[in-house]
Structure 1
Amino acid sequence: MTIERKSSFREGSELGTLYLVPTPIGNLSDMTFRALEVLQAVDLICAEDTRNTKRLLNHFEITTPQISFHEHNTKERIPVLLEKLKAGKNLAQVSDAGMPSISDPGHELVSACIASGVTVVPLPGANAALTALIASGLVPQPFMFYGFLARKKSTRTEELLKLNEQEVTLIFYEAPHRLLKTLEAMAEVFGSERKITLGRELTKKYEEFLRGTLAEAIEWAKAGEIKGEFVLVVQGNPAPEKECDPEVELPLKEQVENLITQEGLRPNAAIKEIAKKNGLKKQLVYNEYHQIEHGSE
């Protein structure tokens, strides 16, 4: 087996190149000289939203044509874009803000290009997750970037239960209308005293950082109107369980059902026991067992 080796700049090729170009997450001054040069030079820009990108291009007086490329047209667009690249055209891919592929479209096109032998060149630049991390005051490495949690309550809880085993700093994205419910879900699983830094409106005029515990963040979120996009940087578990009971790896509902079947406990007694075993509130396990989905958004 031979590892695939692909040079970004030293190989001559009749194929075009796909450039992955980061765009500002708020402050237009964060656009790099190299990014501007690439957007000016390529034959076509693949944009998540051509209207948003048009404003950026107009600001820097760039006239390169665009084509829409987003999560809803990925399958139909990729063959079209590959055809252009195979014909020798150079393309740039941008998302609305930050890095392509990071909680944004991009990965599928990159994979398709690699499979077709097309050179993929990434440009460094603005990224909300790392921007928040280095100013959070929490341990910057190692860290895990998770992105958006699931919207469905039961799925979100299962995600957080797995993440609670992590000792590394965790990074999430969240929209303002879901922030409070996400903080409350984290407090239920991680504990209300877990440290968190919320980065709001990063690089923009109203940028601010809110540092404290999950309990304090929840109190802040309940006190007034929540505005802006958020990056949540959460302390890793300072005291994870080193020896994990294999039973605890199962979904909470299944754990309760097993206890009822194997030991003949009544549901409420089994729920109480599983809550204790997992270090969780009884109400959380009760909701999972009975599949109570209110407040899932």
Structure 2
Amino acid sequence: MVSSGHPTSSCTEPVETDPRRPKPGSGLYVVATPIGNLGDISERAREVLASADLVLAEDRRMAARLLQHIGVRTTVANYHEHNAARARPDILRRLAEGQVIALTSDAGTPLISDPGYRLVDEALEAGVAVRAVPGPSAVIAALSVSGLPTDRFMFVGFPPPKQAARRSFLAEVAGIAATLVFYESPRRLPDCLRDMAAVLGDRPAAVARELTKLHEEVRRGGLPDLADHYTAAGPPKGEIVIIVGPPAAAETDWAAIDRELADRLTGESLRDAVDAVAAGSGAPRKAVYRRALALKNGDGGA
């Protein structure tokens, strides 16, 4: 995720790799970088960036700022959606020669809304070792402070910019039983939240911006309330992550289930009736079986 964060800590001493520690083996290293606070760079990321023969970056200026901050002088080359197809053959050649190449994004973990996927895929296809150097991610950072369920979530990236396409996109993911995580531009945030409220309903949500930076903010509430707030306040500044809670579980209509069971039990076996009603209603089979057994024994619904 692109970021223009400013360092909140200072580090000017050059990185010196531990002579007792071997240089990273040749291959492609997918290196996570800070999403705002440069103090979040990991020690392993520092060592890989210092030892690499080449650092690939979406924006050389952003990468140079980070490398200067940690005292690293590794050569940096642009690798972004506009030059990726042209750049990949040379990168793959260098990897085949045994070089150490670090793939970074402007902020966060590479391949999350950036063009690194094809390079990783082609490197693996060529038999090159690809290693992860994990670290910051705006998706995980936003989820961790959202107050919404995190046991199951889906990252769906940027919604389309036009309303009709955006609403169609939201309708496609509306039924997913998981917390949804979106990226969005500040300029489109009010319109996007209004469409989310219209398509997804009054779900709990959070808007996280400027994560790890000086003006970090997480605003929580229902989608209609958040839409009203940002419509009145206007587009905010900074990088935006929207987190939307999962749809509420539908209530089971047990009365309708009992009626269908009673109808089916007049001409079907207990097992067949239970299987058909459980499949059609989505209710737990064991619960349907108990109710069917009670009906068959003349006890009414369970």
Equivalence for 1:94: 104
For normalisation by structure 1, the TM-score amounts to 0.74
- Among 200, 204, 217, the alignment partner of 2:209 is 200
Superposition map of 1:24-173 within 5 A = 24-173=34-183
Alignment CA distance shift 1:240-1:122 (3 Å)? farther
**Deviation at 1:223?**
2.4
Any gaps of 5 or more consecutive residues in structure 2? 1-24, 253-302
Equivalence for 2:191: 181
For normalisation by structure 2, the TM-score amounts to 0.73
| Largest Rg, 1 or 2 | 2
Q: Distance in 2 between matches of 1:108 and 1:230?
A: 26
Equivalent residues of 1:143, 1:171 under 8 A apart: yes
Q: Distance in 1 between matches of 2:209 and 2:229?
A: 13
SS in 1 for 2:187: helix
Equivalent residues of 1:170, 1:235 under 8 A apart: yes
Amino acid at match of 1:90: V
Equivalent residues of 1:44, 1:65 under 8 A apart: yes
Q: Distance in 1 between matches of 2:99 and 2:156?
A: 34
Amino acid at match of 2:225: E
**Deviation at 1:240?**
5.7
- Among 228, 240, 245, the alignment partner of 1:230 is 240
**Deviation at 1:153?**
2.3
SS in 1 for 2:188: helix
Report the number of matched residues. Answer: 227
Regions of 4+ moved over 4 Å:
none
Equivalent residues of 1:165, 1:240 under 8 A apart: no
Q: Deviations over 1:217-253 (max 9, x none)?
A: 01210222421111111011114699xxxxxxxxxxx
Q: Deviations over 1:1-48 (max 9, x none)?
A: xxxxxxxxxxxxxx9300000110000010000000000001000111
Equivalence for 1:215: 224
Q: Distance in 2 between matches of 1:155 and 1:116?
A: 37
Q: Distance in 2 between matches of 1:207 and 1:65?
A: 32
**Deviation at 1:141?**
1.4
Amino acid at match of 1:87: E
Q: Distance in 1 between matches of 2:92 and 2:26?
A: 9
Superposition map of 1:224-263 within 5 A = 224-225=233-234, 226-239=236-249
Q: Distance in 2 between matches of 1:198 and 1:240?
A: 26
Equivalent residues of 1:18, 1:120 under 8 A apart: yes
Amino acid at match of 1:92: A
Equivalence for 2:27: 17
Q: Distance in 2 between matches of 1:232 and 1:128?
A: 11
Percent identical among aligned pairs is: 43
SS in 2 for 1:37: helix
Amino acid at match of 2:204: K
Equivalent residues of 1:170, 1:236 under 8 A apart: yes
Q: Deviations over 1:65-92 (max 9, x none)?
A: 0111001111101101001011111100
Alignment RMSD (CA, Å):
1.5
SS in 2 for 1:54: helix
SS in 2 for 1:197: strand
**Deviation at 1:188?**
1.0
